[in-house]
Amino acid sequence: MQSVSDNAAMSAMSKAAVYPSLEGRVVVVTGGASGIGAAIVEAFARQQAQVAFFDIQEEEAKRLVGRLIDAGLRAPVYFRCDVTDFVALERTVDEVVERLGRVDVLVNNAGNDARHPVDSVTPESWDEGMAINLKQQFFMAQAVAPSMRQARRGSIINMGSIAWVIPSKNVPVYVTAKSAIVGMTRALAHEFGEDEVRVNCVMPGAILTERQKQLWLTEDYVRQVLAHQSLKRMILPEEVARLVLFLAADDSSAITNQSYVVDGGWV
C-alpha cells in the first residue's frame, strides 16, 4: 500500500539532518523494539548516540539490534523490562546508568493502543491502561532525573497522541491517558527546568507501523485518515523519529514545556 508520496517521503528522509550534539549521548527509549520506537532507536543510532532500549518483545529486539549492526551502526543495548513493573523499571534504569555512565535523553515511547469499547472497561482494565500509557512515563522520568540533574542537562520526550484531540472512539482509557501526558509534560518541565532538563511531548497521528498494518490498516481506514489529513499520504515512523531527534539535540536547547503534533495536518 506504498504510494508515490510515501516513496518521496522516504527519499527525503535519506537526506535528514545530522545533529553533532547527539554523538555519544546516552539515550533511553522505552518500547523500542518495534514501530515508532524502533524507528527512534535507529534514528539515534544513525546520529552515533549510545542507545539503550527497553521492551518485552525479545525476538523483535534481537532482530532490530542485528539489523543495525549489519548496517554498520553502533549497536544499541537491549534491556528486557516490563515498564509497568515499577521495581524492575527503576532497577533497569540504575543498570543503564551503571553500564553507560548516565542518561542524557529519555524517550517515553512505550504504550498500548488496543481497542476497548467503553462498555468493556473495568476497574482492572482501567488501571492496566493507565499503567502502560501514563503511569510508567512519570516513573521513567523520575528514575532518570537524578542523572540529568547531576549533569545539568537532559531532554525528556513523552510520546502522546492526537487521539484525544480529533476525537477518537473505542479507546477511552487510551485517550484519557494520552491527554494527561500533555499536563504531565508541562508539570515536569517546570519541576526539572532549574537543572536545565527539558521536557516536551510529541503527539503522532495515524502512523504507518507494522502493528497498524496487521491490525487496522484497511482500505476504508486509509480513506478516513487521508480524508482528514492535509497531506494525502500515510505518515511514516521515521518522520516521527526526526522530530524526536530535534527535541533531543542541543538545537532545541531553549524549547521545553511544549507539545508537537506529527499527523500530516489532521489536527
Q: Tens digit of pLDDT for each residue in 212-234?
A: 888 878 899 999 999 999 999 99
Please indicate, yes or no, whether the overall pTM of this predicted structure exceeds 0.75: yes
- Burial category of 158 from C-beta neighbours within 10 Å (exposed 0-12, middle 13-18, buried 19 and up): buried
Q: What's the confidence (pLDDT) of residue 4?
A: 44
* Catalytic position from the list 19, 78, 174, 260: 174
User: How many Cβ atoms sit within 10 Å of the Cβ of residue 178?
Assistant: 25
Q: Tens digit of pLDDT for each residue in 124-179?
A: 999 999 999 999 999 999 999 999 999 999 999 999 999 999 989 999 999 999 99
Quickly tell me which residue has 502522546 as its cell: 160
Q: H or E element: which one contains 80?
A: strand 77-80
Q: Tens digit of pLDDT for each residue in 102-130?
A: 999 999 999 999 999 999 999 999 999 99
User: If we measure between CA atoms, which residue out of 58, 50, 61, 5 comes closest to residue 28?
Assistant: 50
Domains in the chain with CATH codes: 25-209+238-259 (3.40.50.720)
Q: Tens digit of pLDDT for each residue in 19-77?
A: 999 999 999 999 999 999 999 999 999 999 999 999 999 999 999 999 999 999 999 99
Q: What's the confidence (pLDDT) of residue 13?
A: 55
Instruction: Specify whether 174 is catalytic.
Output: yes
The alpha-carbon radius of gyration of the chain (Å, integer) is 18
